[in-house]
Amino acid sequence: MAIANARDELTKAGVVHMRVTRAAAGVIAVFAIALCFSPAYAQDQPNIVLVFMDNFGWGEPGFNGGGITRGAATPRIDRLADEGLRLTNFNVEVQCTPSRSALMTGRYAKRSGNATVPLGAGVYGLVQWEVTMAEMLSQAGYATGMYGKWHLGRTDGRFPTDQGFDEWYGVPNSTDESVYSALPGFAQSGVPETYVLEARRGETPTKVRPYNLEYRPLIDRDLTDKAIAFIRRNARASTPFFVYLPYTATHFPSLPHPDFEGHTGNGAWADLLAQIDSYTGELLATIDELGIADNTIFIFTADNGPEALGYESTSMTVETAVHGSAGPWRGTLFTGFEGALRVPFVVRWPGHIPAGRSSDEIVHAMDLFPTFAAMAGGTVPADRPIDGLDMAEFFLGETEESGRDGFIVYMGADVFGVKWRNWKLHFKEQDAWSDILRTYTMPRLYNLLTDPQERDNVLFPHTWVPKAALVQLQEHVVSLRKYPPIPAGTPDPYEPGQ
């Protein structure tokens, strides 16, 4: 293999023009050994940086029509889109925990027992039987670091460093917990205060500091700094690395860092958007400075569509609604509408992924697991259903089609609908998490090309669509019967069939 690779390099250089002789092979072997010690050739596997915003709507970044229309330009993120592939139809699950479960496992969250955001103080999260993206990449030789919000377990055995990450700094649950200590009655509730945690693989996480309104605006700065330090450390060692950076922005309470507060003059949300763009720019500048851009896959995306409202005041006395933007799509998180499902997505890998390309092909967060495995030389588990599809050829521009026609739309553990091509079937609808649930005797059907707001039911005369769209739901139901989902709250150790 080394000789073949060396010959390819010599051929490109104009050195080899004829059949390689036995004597020449010896020279090439020496050259191949030299390549092994050259920094440019020391690492074949691409680094992966995955920036994962929290409740960040499709319409927020400039490359999707946001940016200046939301109060702050996003030049660094927009340049990232110019340098890579922008997906306008990248989809997630519609709550934080299920979305992260699907991303990490390549499976519908229903399968892992994480179909809903946990309430109460019980055990939740990924059982150790699940194979995470971090575990898969770690087994392929990657250094793995996570900085930010986990939301897939808060008890021993279920922290990120129990699930394939070499190191972690962040919060186990959600950012709304930063508000707790400022609310009347909390001190007397007996509920423990939330802490920022830090751990290395095999260690019990240690408490770093309370996660409260004092630290809420500061945490994403620290997450960025720690991610950059991890990148530098592993780039110097020529070790392939995976950085998972699930920021706390823009989850409620949406508070910018003091360095950005008042920066735009357009309010806290615009300030926060400027902050996100700046931090992303720092990550990209670091990668460019280290000379590893051509060997680094960089993704910018989010876990859910926008929240309906938040707070713009650190004192929590001024309750000003901060409505995120889903662009042309209807809905927020905790709904089955496109505004909950579609989030911004850009992937850049210079020299591999063609620059300046946009596509409306359907892709789901579940697809990143097998795609990373294909690009990084990882192994996809063969002993369980993997719902994600390998998008490597599509990302690399070798095909114009993603290969995914649609997916099942879950809201929690309930099937709300089915998405198929440019059509959407709804069995249940809810305009927001606090609204009345509507269940239909006959499904409602929307044409997303002509009706992005999903308001005009066109089931008649298009009753042919369910005949095509519901095949995937039938297959999914059969799969769930063959491989029963893990019940929520299942303790470790877990084995299939329990």
Domain boundaries, the chain: 2-41, 47-395, 406-482
The span from the CA of 321 to the CA of 411, in Å, is 24
CB 488 within 8 A of CB 116: yes
pLDDT at 498: 62
CA nearest 306: which of 287, 330, 323?
Answer: 323
DSSP E strand boundaries for 344-413: 346-348, 357-359, 363-364, 406-411
CB 299 within 8 A of CB 30: no
The Cα diameter of the chain in Å comes to 83
The span from the CA of 123 to the CA of 159, in Å, is 12
pLDDT at 309: 63
pLDDT, tens digit (0-9, with 9 covering 90-100), for 334-358: 999 999 999 999 999 999 999 999 9
Choose the catalytic residue: 17, 96, 251, 257.
96
β-bridge mates for residue 414, sequence order: 411
pLDDT, tens digit (0-9, with 9 covering 90-100), for 115-134: 999 988 889 999 999 999 99
Backbone angles phi, psi at 347, to 5 degrees: -130, 130
CB 247 within 8 A of CB 51: yes
Q: Which amino acid is at 75?
A: P
In this structure, what token pair is assigned to residue 173? 């649950």
CATH architecture assignment, domain 406-482: 2-Layer Sandwich (3.30)
pLDDT at 292: 98
151 is catalytic: yes
CA-CA-CA-CA torsion sign (436, 437, 443, 445) = positive
pLDDT at 25: 38
pLDDT, tens digit (0-9, with 9 covering 90-100), for 273-288: 999 999 999 999 999 9
Model confidence at 314: pLDDT above 60 = no
**Number of Cβ atoms within 10 Å of the Cβ of 238:** 12
Specify the DSSP class assigned to residue 318. S
Average pLDDT over all residues of the chain? 90
Report, in angstroms and rounded to the nearest whole number, the Rg of the chain calculated over CA atoms: 23
Question: Does 186 or 14 have the greater pLDDT score?
Answer: 186
Percent of the chain at pLDDT exceeding 70: 88
pLDDT, tens digit (0-9, with 9 covering 90-100), for 371-382: 999 999 999 999
Q: Which amino acid is at 353?
A: I
pLDDT at 435: 86
Model confidence at 41: pLDDT above 90 = no
pLDDT at 497: 79
How confident is the model over 239-252, as a mean pLDDT?
97
CB 472 within 8 A of CB 106: no
Residue 155, Ramachandran bin (φ over 0: left; ψ between -120 and 50: alpha; else beta): beta
**Number of Cβ atoms within 10 Å of the Cβ of 10:** 18
Instruction: Give the global pTM.
Output: 0.90
Q: Looking at the domain 47-395, which fold is it?
A: Alkaline Phosphatase, subunit A (3.40.720)
pLDDT at 432: 86
Domains 47-395 and 406-482 share a fold: no
pLDDT at 43: 66
pLDDT, tens digit (0-9, with 9 covering 90-100), for 435-473: 899 999 999 999 999 999 999 999 999 999 999 999 999
Structure confidence at residue 315 as a pLDDT band (50, 70, 90) = very low
The span from the CA of 370 to the CA of 374, in Å, is 6
36 is catalytic: no
CA nearest 269: which of 60, 27, 30?
Answer: 60
The angle at the Cα of 380, spanning 48 to 36, to the nearest 5 degrees, equals 50
pLDDT at 120: 83
Choose the catalytic residue: 17, 151, 251, 352.
151
